[in-house]
Structure 1
Amino acid sequence: MSDETTRVLAGLDEARRRELAGLYRDLHAHPELSFAEHHTAAEVARRSRAYGFEMTEGVGRTGVVAVLRGGAGPTVLLRADFDALPVEERTGLPYASTSGGVMHACGHDMHTTCLLGAMRLLAEGREHWSGTVLAVFQPAEEMGQGARAMVDDGLFTRFGKPDVVLGQHVIRLPAGSVGCHPGTAYAATDVLRVRMFGADGPDAGPGPAGATANRLQTVLEREMSDAGTVRITADDAPPAFGSGERDDGVPVAARLKVSLRTCSASLRQRALATLERAVREESAASGAVRDPEITALGAFPSLVNDVDAVDRTMTAIGAVIGADKVVDPGLLPGGEDIGVFGTAADVPVCFWQFGGTDPDTYAKAEAAGTTRDVPANHSPFFAPVIEPTLTTGVTAMVAGALAWLGPGGGRR
């Protein structure tokens, strides 16, 4: 670990950890859906100003951009997403969501807290680095639209182009660990809604949504089996047959939600074409009275981590938390749009994961071969343990940033 990193991280004392834990609990209790993150954005803005950052709200609708200039040197973009999901929380935590049907089920509240903690440390230790910190708090990651909205709103023309894009995501790994996969790290994800139509009566149309989903799943897995990097799910999304939903007077016999995950542009096009054909064949075979409807709900491009950027960043983080705590989780199936920033600015991206599961709980599940039973992102039971998750996330963000910022030379 460099002397600069040691000095900057010295500010992460017990009092600071308690303060950040309180912030995390507040954000977790007040989740907000995509492009409606007003409470969160206001809190981010208030703290950014207090830390000495130049702060701008409303970038990409509800995004916040905070800039700290430390003289000549590289510009490092540090990103956190801050929207929640339409999920009813079932964790039983004393700081559980107070917004019915909305939950931070993916850990974005932890991402936001960690970035704010890192920003304060970097501001207080400004004499130990040079360059510019560009902190980006992104809305609507869950929709795959927030990064693009910020870029289209002039993110880089208004605030400058970075030299690197860094970010992190809490996942089902032991708390205290960090994971990063070089190359294609997240698959591209397309989320679609499928509606099939039928005449009145229990025997008309494609039948119960669950059975229809299972048949489509079978067809898609069989036809895409030669491409092992494709992950396909089709889930019931009520209302199903008999709900009374109609479109122009025609009953909706099944409504499904489909996620297609692919690792190349050609594979993506093939999967989309296969899905459309299978849906039409299923609809026609069941005697549906009109063509099915396939609507895109969101799309995430594949995320490609720059190999050299991963090596540089993970070496710096490993020097702080211990090289044995840095792992390669492999290709991850979830969608992630941070790569939009790197593509738009034409700069390298390093996006890593940090663990949020109690280490003892994870170790026992791993020994029993039941880690899949540990609550994962998007589950109503998912909530990272506050420590050591919080300390690891702040530490990783600071160390990662300092791996790219220039050397210090006195306060500017």
Structure 2
Amino acid sequence: MLRHLLLSAAALAMTATPPLAAAAAAAAADPVRDATQKAMPQLMDFYRDFHANPELSNHETRSAGILAAEARRLGFDVTEKVGGHGVVAILRNGPGPVIMIRADMDGLPVVEQTGLPFASKAIGTAENGVETGIMHACGHDTHMASWIGTMRNLVAMKAKWSGTLIMIGQPAEEVGTGAKAMIADGLFTRWPKPSHALAFHDVPSLPAGTIGIRTGYVMAAVDWVDITVKGVGGHGAYPHKTKDPIVLASRLVVALQTLVSREVDPLESAVVTVGSFHGGAKPNVISDTVQLQLTVRSYKPEVRKLLLDGIGRIARGEAIAAGMPDDKMPEVIIKPGATPATFNTEPFTGRMTSLFTARFGADRVVDLAPQMGGEDFANFYVLDPSVQSLLFFVGGVPRAQWDASQKPGGPGLPSLHSPFWAPDAEGVISTATEAMTAAALDLLRKK
């Protein structure tokens, strides 16, 4: 009898196990995640190729060509050379919303020092005419690879969504002109205007695979200011017969810091940095000019205006205090190409925060504090506030490196634009591709 019961139980287990196993497997399966993981070997090939072959702003010919060719292969209607080297790829898949997903393409004039086997050896000429190495020191190579992965996923899942998908490859993000150039070239008029614009940026302030997201300001407005400080040159041994512009420029550098410390509300964010100071050519010669170059960062428009107005006022005031005549007042030039602050809108951001938290878990989705770096993705919303906008962040720090940096006295982490920035590209690309695919499916889901 016991033997009969054992055999019956074994037979029952054999018939029950396959359905249970199938149910468990079905529960664990995730089409978006599974498709992303399956694509990762090819996406990493794209990443390594982009990384080894970076191009400077407004020279993104090769990168744009790769993105355009992949979009055409997948059945998108593709237009190249939009606003320079911009790519617009559109896929109409029935009635529904219009959403836009962006990747930026340009590298930086940085000599790579990561030691990666596929490190860039590219050389180019920067905007200032200086020959330089070129590197994807801001992670745009991961952005492009994720863009391709998202596009592939959404084409494979066309039965799950309805609407219009616009994928754009944006040039010249690093110099702040690419988004505006694409809009000026008809991005929102030659093609359907999107209701939602989505992008991500890798960051060195989160462990790889962690998503940072928040509503409101997330990246700063960026202004570039040149100041020519004038003087009366002469012999260094007879300074009383000159008007020394180096002394005046030195006073100006110090006085400019009071804009942030004494004129901006301490609860607001602002930066005034003099990053370049050039004057004179010989120890015993007082020059007649000094060139200063500044970067100015802010969030709110009223703070931005206070800083820019204050720079002109302080420059003139310090020159008057130094006894400069009217024809020797400093020349203050606010350069074109300024980037407004990046603002994540509601309800789009809240909706995506809930979506990402449900998908990745609360431990992988964090409220990332606003940053003082700039992103010209901001222009897609600022130039047309009817477009809901979201720029989220994906951590790129390899886990071992992150854990070591969190210990007391641990090593620091490289920043973006560093010659040593080598993100965990697989963690960035897989997370970003999955997140952007899920976001698009949510926005375009069939009713």
One fold, TM greater than 0.5? yes
Structure 2 unmatched runs, 5+: 1-25, 124-131
Aligned to 1:83: 106
- Secondary structure of the residue aligned to 2:353 is helix
Deviation at 1:86, TM superposition (A): 2.2
After TM superposition, the structure 1 = structure 2 runs for residues 307-322 of structure 1, keeping only pairs within 5 Å, are 307-322=346-361
How does the TM-score come out when normalised to structure 1? 0.88
Aligned to 2:420: 381
**One-letter amino acid of the counterpart of residue 265, structure 1:** P
- 2-structure distance, mates of 1:267, 1:53: 43
**CA 1:383–1:196: 2 relative to 1, 3 Å:** farther
- Secondary structure of the residue aligned to 2:188 is helix
- 2-structure distance, mates of 1:230, 1:283: 28
Range with bigger deviation, 170-179 or 200-209: 200-209
**One-letter amino acid of the counterpart of residue 293, structure 1:** E
Does structure 2 conserve the Cα–Cα contact (< 8 Å) formed by 1:213 and 1:256?
no
Q: Which of 349, 373, 397 in structure 1 is aligned with 2:389?
A: 349
- 2-structure distance, mates of 1:80, 1:364: 31
Aligned to 2:93: 70
Does structure 1 conserve the Cα–Cα contact (< 8 Å) formed by 2:342 and 2:375?
yes
Does structure 1 conserve the Cα–Cα contact (< 8 Å) formed by 2:270 and 2:299?
no
Q: What is the aligned length? A: 398
Deviation at 1:319, TM superposition (A): 2.5
**CA 1:362–1:229: 2 relative to 1, 3 Å:** farther
- Sequence identity percentage: 35
**CA 1:324–1:277: 2 relative to 1, 3 Å:** same
Structure 1 unmatched runs, 5+: 245-249
Does structure 1 conserve the Cα–Cα contact (< 8 Å) formed by 2:252 and 2:318?
no
Does structure 2 conserve the Cα–Cα contact (< 8 Å) formed by 1:164 and 1:348?
yes
Q: Which of 203, 207, 217 in structure 2 is aligned with 1:174?
A: 207
Does structure 2 conserve the Cα–Cα contact (< 8 Å) formed by 1:213 and 1:236?
no
Q: Is 1:35 matched up with 2:58?
A: yes
Deviation at 1:288, TM superposition (A): 6.2
- 2-structure distance, mates of 1:205, 1:403: 63
Does structure 1 conserve the Cα–Cα contact (< 8 Å) formed by 2:256 and 2:314?
no
Tell me how large the CA RMSD over aligned residues is. Answer: 2.7
**One-letter amino acid of the counterpart of residue 418, structure 2:** S
**One-letter amino acid of the counterpart of residue 31, structure 2:** R
- 2-structure distance, mates of 1:286, 1:356: 49
Q: Which of 187, 194, 202 in structure 2 is aligned with 1:162?
A: 194
**One-letter amino acid of the counterpart of residue 154, structure 1:** G
- 2-structure distance, mates of 1:75, 1:292: 49
- 1-structure distance, mates of 2:301, 2:377: 18
After TM superposition, the structure 1 = structure 2 runs for residues 13-412 of structure 1, keeping only pairs within 5 Å, are 13-14=37-38, 16-100=39-123, 101=132, 102-172=134-204, 173-198=206-231, 199-201=233-235, 205-207=244-246, 211=250, 214-237=253-276, 240-243=278-281, 251=287, 253-285=289-321, 290-297=328-335, 298-343=337-382, 344=384, 346-368=386-408, 373-407=412-446
**CA 1:341–1:242: 2 relative to 1, 3 Å:** same
Does structure 1 conserve the Cα–Cα contact (< 8 Å) formed by 2:72 and 2:78?
yes
Q: Which has the larger radius of gyration?
A: 2
- 2-structure distance, mates of 1:143, 1:109: 17
Deviation at 1:134, TM superposition (A): 0.6
Deviation at 1:263, TM superposition (A): 1.9
- 2-structure distance, mates of 1:140, 1:218: 30
- 2-structure distance, mates of 1:127, 1:21: 27
Deviation at 1:165, TM superposition (A): 0.9
Aligned to 1:247: none
- 2-structure distance, mates of 1:82, 1:255: 31
After superposition, the C-alpha distances for 1:35-83 in whole angstroms (9 at most, x for unaligned) are 2111111111111111221111011111001111211111111011111
**One-letter amino acid of the counterpart of residue 351, structure 1:** L
- 2-structure distance, mates of 1:236, 1:287: 26
Does structure 1 conserve the Cα–Cα contact (< 8 Å) formed by 2:252 and 2:314?
no
Aligned to 2:18: none
- Secondary structure of the residue aligned to 1:320 is helix
- 1-structure distance, mates of 2:169, 2:41: 22
**One-letter amino acid of the counterpart of residue 358, structure 1:** P
- Secondary structure of the residue aligned to 1:69 is strand
**One-letter amino acid of the counterpart of residue 254, structure 1:** V
After superposition, the C-alpha distances for 1:177-229 in whole angstroms (9 at most, x for unaligned) are 00111012222221222232332455663328995675145333333352432
After superposition, the C-alpha distances for 1:290-332 in whole angstroms (9 at most, x for unaligned) are 3323223331112221131111112222222222211111222
Deviation at 1:403, TM superposition (A): 1.9
- 1-structure distance, mates of 2:296, 2:275: 15
- 2-structure distance, mates of 1:222, 1:196: 23
